[in-house]
Amino acid sequence: MANKPNIPKGTRDFSPLEMIKRNYIFNTIKDVYKLYGFQQIETPAMESLQTLMGKYGDEGDKLLFKILNSGDYLKKVSDDELLQRNPLKLAPQLCEKGLRYDLTVPFARYVVMHREELQMPFKRYQIQPVWRADRPQKGRYREFYQCDADVVGSDSLLNEVELVQIMDTVFTKFGIRVQIKINNRKILTGIAEVIGEAEKIIDITVAIDKLDKIGIDNVNKELKENGISDEAITKLQPIIALKGSNEDKLNTLQEVLSTSEIGLKGIEETRYILNKLSSVDIQNEIELDLTLARGLNYYTGAIFEVKALDVAIGSITGGGRYDNLTGIFGMPGISGVGISFGADRIYDVLNTLDLYPRESVEQTQVLFINFGEEEVSYCLPIATQLRNNGVFTEVFPENTKMKKQMNYANAKQIPFVVIAGENEIKEGKLTLKNMVTGEQSLLTKEELIAQFQ
Amino acid sequence: MANKPNIPKGTRDFSPLEMIKRNYIFNTIKDVYKLYGFQQIETPAMESLQTLMGKYGDEGDKLLFKILNSGDYLKKVSDDELLQRNPLKLAPQLCEKGLRYDLTVPFARYVVMHREELQMPFKRYQIQPVWRADRPQKGRYREFYQCDADVVGSDSLLNEVELVQIMDTVFTKFGIRVQIKINNRKILTGIAEVIGEAEKIIDITVAIDKLDKIGIDNVNKELKENGISDEAITKLQPIIALKGSNEDKLNTLQEVLSTSEIGLKGIEETRYILNKLSSVDIQNEIELDLTLARGLNYYTGAIFEVKALDVAIGSITGGGRYDNLTGIFGMPGISGVGISFGADRIYDVLNTLDLYPRESVEQTQVLFINFGEEEVSYCLPIATQLRNNGVFTEVFPENTKMKKQMNYANAKQIPFVVIAGENEIKEGKLTLKNMVTGEQSLLTKEELIAQFQ
């Protein structure tokens, strides 16, 4: 009857060692969020499909994990509908609920449902798993954690400034050297306006992004292939060739976009953010990057993305300003700005660069060796005293060979072992062994306890 | 198009205030688990249905949330099968995955899959949500957290001793007065053996449990109605009337069960556990309670349950010894013992008794009032300095009325507000206002920073 167990593809178990590393990541991010006054919320894993459907495009709808209704889930379906065998059409009849796909839509739903209780601006953070029925591949999972912070109910660009400070502080704490890229949707809209190709803005940023790889001629060729007029391509040249400091770039853009009100607004916003940031001691480089166009249909102002400098991996954090997030749930006029740390990629970067702290705060510090009943009775109150003092302490539960117990200590990287056999008990003492240096000392109970204070 | 949003019945959003309370509960439990050398793991929310089905009885199978397969989930189902409309039979064809129902079965699966990496005895804790399609009612949810600790790979009763210590320490830290009930499945088996009614042990414990409410005569009547022989009922009398200290009870049982090997073994185990516990300074009362029969088909040795003394609510923690947990996955011979804290009920008890700590470690400590651009530029580096020193600090993002900003500070219970207007800036100072006492002081930047060190 016994079947060999497995877990669903794209999901993972996390071992104690992995949990220590993951907790280190989550706690570092949490601590910084809290430094800036963000408050934690949690929302249910399951949301009504009505809340989720239509929020992530057609592709997103397909990638939602849907939960079969309890009881007779076929009740409301006719024979005809069944035999049509249309999975997409049938799913909403079989399923009312789905697993959350990100933390943003549930957050918008939360804001709308709890608007009466919320003090605006509402600064929330949320660290929970999300689920996507994506094809699993290296570094892409069907269950993964998102670590989001958003401010809603405030148009102030100080929020953008703070979010950049948060990204900078988090990666400084991790010891990961990063580049923080910044862009503004309004600048992109301005560019599209000026060259009269409003529909083509994504094609344009995609092409510009290839400049380093394929050179200016090929970029221009690609733009032309995408149906962009020669005139527009000519106008685009200073933007494609945009170089120098952020200040230089903004000055160039100011000229090119001089006729676009929205473009100039984007430049002004970016100047404001960069200017304020220059006063607060940012550790990492901030670069204005026009090719940054993530979630273009979603963001309306500043756009952020973080890249690790020493590991070739995609974006490890991103975010931006969006307007009207809650409009889809009947509460218009709420602007928000947020960021999301990619915990799984950060995990990989920390591993690759070997940046995890050497000392774990979660490991057992002392193991009492078990020599039998009498010895255990001698040790138990001392172990209890150590725990009362906050020392992570174990008493080996089995009276097995010393070697096996020592192996256990080594495997769990327990730095100290207490040995109390017949001789020690006779003297009313205990032997404390340092597992790293091998050093042993014979101590009274009080001396032992004092060692760990 | 906008629909009024809702969340699935039986699920909950957790507000910042609720999260602070929940984190307090989880962190307290975690900290004690770690004191005893337990290591954290996490498993995926989704498990193969094969892993979950048949582990919780027929009722449990119905209460599993099943996840519709991605893509064409009807592919393998024939027209005939569809038209039979048998929801139970059809579900495993439409769904390969389900949401975890508890943390024990995923843990057993984990142990089997990772047995090569595990150092035995393996002491793990796990704090994650589980999902059950139960009918929602007061205090019962469809998504709720379990906080489990288990030791596998050790038969030693020292593990039972430690788990009782853990329960005692956790509730002492919470300030909740509890009674820790203990029983042993082997004693119950012994009773059934001695009276020759092996099948009736649950009926017997249920009847005994009613003694206080309905009296001895009605208990005996109920036993008779359940088909228990007069002779057996006569033999049961000393057990029904069991009273006095744990020692008294064990002595009575020792006589009644003198012919049952397994019964005597259960008594010996219980004596061992109680004896060891008497040496380690337990704060709460431990009571041997024969009516404790939770998960009888599951537990094989000690059984634990914790009841709050000052709030009428069911069991708030439970656990016990089980053998062969991993046998269902083809890995026999692994014994384990574990406990599970009921976070939601503990939450209610702490609320009812108003036992949450007054000081939250997660609240913003300082809010800088926003008087406009120049003032913000003056404040930003100082706010940054405070954050660098670990002080939770906010700068109000909008230049709105002072009153609104003060309301924000009050609503978030921020204890200090910094006011730096034209006058303060002229003097190179800041006004620090204590929001509790109303006291104000004019400080230099250095003095302000020193205040929070």
DSSP characters for B219-270?
A: HHHHHHHTT--HHHHHHHHHHHT--SSHHHHHHHHHHHTTT-HHHHHHHHHH
| Over residues B105-110, mean pLDDT | 96
Residue B161 has what pLDDT?
97
Gap between the Cα atoms of B315 and B304, Å rounded:
10
Highest mean pLDDT among A326-330, B4-8, B395-399: B395-399
d(CA B55, CA A71): 19
Q: What does the block give as tokens for B74?
A: 């009807």
Q: Tell me which chain A residues have a C-beta less than 8 angstroms from the C-beta of B333.
A: none
Peptide bond into B121 cis (omega under 30): yes
pLDDT of res. A1: 43
- pLDDT at residue B2 tops 60: no
User: What pLDDT was estimated at residue A3?
Assistant: 61
CB within 8 Å of chain B, chain A residues 33-52 = 34-37, 39-48, 50-51
Burial status of residue B426 (CB atoms within 10 A of its CB: 0-12, 13-18, 19 or more): exposed
> Chain B contact for A449, CB < 8 A?
no
d(CA A216, CA A210): 9
> What is the spatial order of strands in the sheet that A66-68 belongs to?
A46-48, A95-99, A66-68, B66-68, B95-99, B46-48
Candidate ranges A25-39, A286-300, A347-361, B346-360; pick with highest mean pLDDT: A25-39
Distance CA B107, CA A7 (A): 12
Q: Which of A11, A72, A390 sits opposite B46 (nearest CB)?
A: A11
Q: At a CB cut-off of 8 Å and minimum separation 6, what does A228 contact?
A: A195, A197, A200, A203, A204, A236
For residue A39, the cross-strand partners are A124
Residue A100's pLDDT is 97
Residue for token digits 């005994």? B208
C-alpha gyration radius of chain A: 29
pLDDT over threshold 60, residue A139: yes
Amino acid B1: pLDDT: 43
pLDDT of res. B296: 59
Task: Identify each DSSP E strand in B294-424 by its residue range.
Answer: 302-308, 317-323, 335-341, 366-368, 393-395, 416-419
- Strands A285-288 and A178-184: what pairing? parallel
Rounded mean pLDDT of B337-344? 95
Whether B381 and A281 lie within 8 Å, measured CB to CB: yes
Tell me whether B245 touches chain A (CB under 8 Å).
no
Residue of B158, B168, B274 to mutate, testing the A interface (most A Cβ within 10 Å of its Cβ):
B158
**Could you give the CA distance from residue B304 to residue B451 in angstroms, rounded to a whole number?**
49
Gap from A313 CA to chain B (nearest CA, Å) = 25
User: Looking at residue A147, what is its pLDDT?
Assistant: 98
Q: What are the φ/ψ torsions at residue A75 (nearest 5 degrees)?
A: -45, -50
Alpha-carbon torsion B260, B262, B263, B265, what sign? positive
Residue B136 is predicted with a pLDDT of 85
Listed in sequence order, the DSSP H helices in A158-312 are 158-174, 185-195, 201-209, 211-225, 230-240, 246-256, 261-277
Place of tokens 């009773």: B191
Q: Give yes or no for B12 touching A (CB within 8 A).
A: yes
Q: For the stretch A374-392, what's the b/e string if a residue is b when 16 or more beta carbons lie within 10 angstroms of its beta carbon? A: ebbebbbebbbbbbeeebb
Mean pLDDT of all residues in B125-130? 98
- For the cut 50, the answer to whether the pLDDT of residue A228 exceeds it is yes
- Whole-number Å distance between alpha carbons of B175 and B310: 11
What CA dihedral angle connects B376, A182, A348 and B69, to 10 degrees? 110
The helix/strand count (H/E) of chain A reads as: 18, 16
Q: pTM for the complete prediction?
A: 0.94
Encoded tokens for A238: 């200073």
What token pair was written down for B447? 């003095």
Contact A68 B71 (CB under 8 A): no
Alpha helices, DSSP H, located in B95-198: 104-113, 158-174, 185-195
Quick check: ipTM above 0.85? yes
Q: pLDDT confidence of A57, banded at 50, 70, 90?
A: confident
| Angstrom distance (rounded) from CA B132 to CA B60 | 8
Residues A2, B330: C-beta atoms closer than 8 Å: yes
pLDDT tens string A380-397: 999 999 999 999 999 999
Chain B residue numbers touching A272 (CB-CB < 8 A): none
Q: What is the tens place of the pLDDT at every residue in B209-268? A: 888 788 889 999 999 998 899 999 998 899 888 889 999 999 999 999 999 999 999 999
Q: What is the pLDDT of residue A43?
A: 98
Nearest-by-CA chain A residue for B365: A37
User: Taking residues A54-78, what's their average pLDDT?
Assistant: 91
Whether A381 and B280 lie within 8 Å, measured CB to CB:
yes
Q: CB neighbours (10 Å) of residue A367?
A: 26
Q: Is B68's Cβ below 8 Å from some Cβ in A?
A: yes
The pLDDT confidence band at residue B295, using thresholds 50, 70 and 90, is low
At which residue do the structure tokens 């006054």 appear?
A37
B155 touches chain A (CB under 8 A): yes
Q: Which residues are registered as beta bridge partners of A126? A: A148
Residue A296 pLDDT > 70, yes or no?
no
Q: Give the minimum alpha-carbon distance from B44 to chain A in angstroms, rounded to a whole number.
A: 6
List, edge to edge, every strand of the sheet that includes B317-323. Answer: B39-40, B122-131, B143-152, B335-341, B317-323, B302-308, B178-184, B285-288
pLDDT at A181: 96
Tell me the pLDDT band of B139, cut-offs 50, 70 and 90.
confident
Q: State whether B397 and A151 contact (CB < 8 Å).
A: yes
What is the number of CB-based contacts under 8 A between chain A and chain B? Answer: 305
Q: Where are the alpha helices (DSSP H) in A56-157?
A: 57-63, 79-84, 87-94, 104-113
Give the one of A67, A72, A131 whose C-beta lies nearest to B87's C-beta.
A72
- Please tell me the distance from the alpha carbon of residue A238 to that of residue B146, in angstroms, as a whole number: 59
Mapping DSSP to helix (H, G, I), strand (E, B) and coil, where does residue A29 land? Answer: helix
Average pLDDT score over chain A: 93
Nearest CA in chain B to A51: B5
Q: Which residues touch B173 (CB under 8 Å, ≥6 apart)?
A: B28, B32
> Which of B133, B384, B408 faces A70 most closely, judged by CB atoms?
B133
A423 confidence band (pLDDT: 50, 70, 90): very high
B168 at the A interface (CB within 8 A)? Answer: no
Residue of B24, B112, B380, B413 to mutate, interface with A, max A Cβ within 10 Å: B380
First to last CA, chain B: 53
Strand, coil or helix: A386: helix
Q: Which residues of B touch A273 (CB under 8 A)?
A: none
Which tokens sit at B201?
Answer: 């042990």
Interface touch B119/A34, C-beta < 8 Å: no
| pLDDT > 70 in chain B, percent | 98
Instruction: Identify residue A47 by its one-letter amino acid code.
Output: E
CB under 8 A, 24+ apart: contacts of B278-281? B279/A377, B279/A380, B279/A381, B280/A380, B280/A381, B280/A384, B280/B161, B280/B165, B281/A381, B281/A384
Residue A97's beta-bridge partner residues?
A48, A67
Cβ neighbours of A71 (radius 10 Å):
10
Judged by CB atoms closer than 8 Å, whether chains meet at B50 and A131 is answered as no
Confidence of residue A325 (pLDDT cuts 50, 70, 90): confident
Residue B376, pLDDT > 60, answer yes
Give, in order, the Cα–Cα distances in Å from A293 to each of A209, A211, A248, B134.
Answer: 10, 15, 21, 45
Quick: pLDDT tens for A168-182.
Answer: 999 999 999 999 999
What is the pLDDT at residue B3? 61
Checking B271-278 for CB contacts under 8 A at 24+ apart, the result is B272/B157, B273/B157, B273/B160, B273/B161, B273/B164, B273/B182, B273/B302, B274/B182, B274/B246, B276/A376, B276/A377, B276/A380, B276/B157, B276/B158, B276/B161, B277/B161, B277/B164, B277/B165
Determine contact, residues A250/A257, Cβ cutoff 8 Å. Answer: no
Contacts of residue B1 in chain A, CB cutoff 8 Å? 328
Q: What is the largest CA-CA distance in chain B?
A: 97
Identify all chain B residues contacting A22, using CB atoms and an 8 Å cutoff: 42
Calpha distance B296→B317 (Å, rounded): 16
Which range (A250-259, B43-52, B98-107, B136-145) has the least confidence?
Answer: B136-145
The CA R_g of chain B, rounded to the nearest whole Å, is 29
Q: What is the pLDDT of residues A144-203, one digit of tens each?
A: 999 999 999 999 999 999 999 999 999 999 999 999 999 999 999 999 999 888 788 888
Q: Rounded distance, CA B321 to CA B185, Å?
A: 9
Q: Name the minimum distance, in Å, from the CA of B366 to any CA of chain A.
A: 9
Helix (H, G, I), strand (E, B) or coil at B47: strand
Where do we find the tokens 């059409």?
Answer: A89
Contacts 24+ apart (CB under 8 A), B419-425: B419/B369, B420/B368, B420/B369, B420/B371, B420/B375, B420/B378, B420/B379, B421/B371, B421/B375, B422/B371, B422/B375, B425/B374, B425/B375, B425/B378
Residues of A within 8 A of B156 (CB-CB) are 397-399
Per DSSP, what are the bridge partners of residue B338? B150, B320
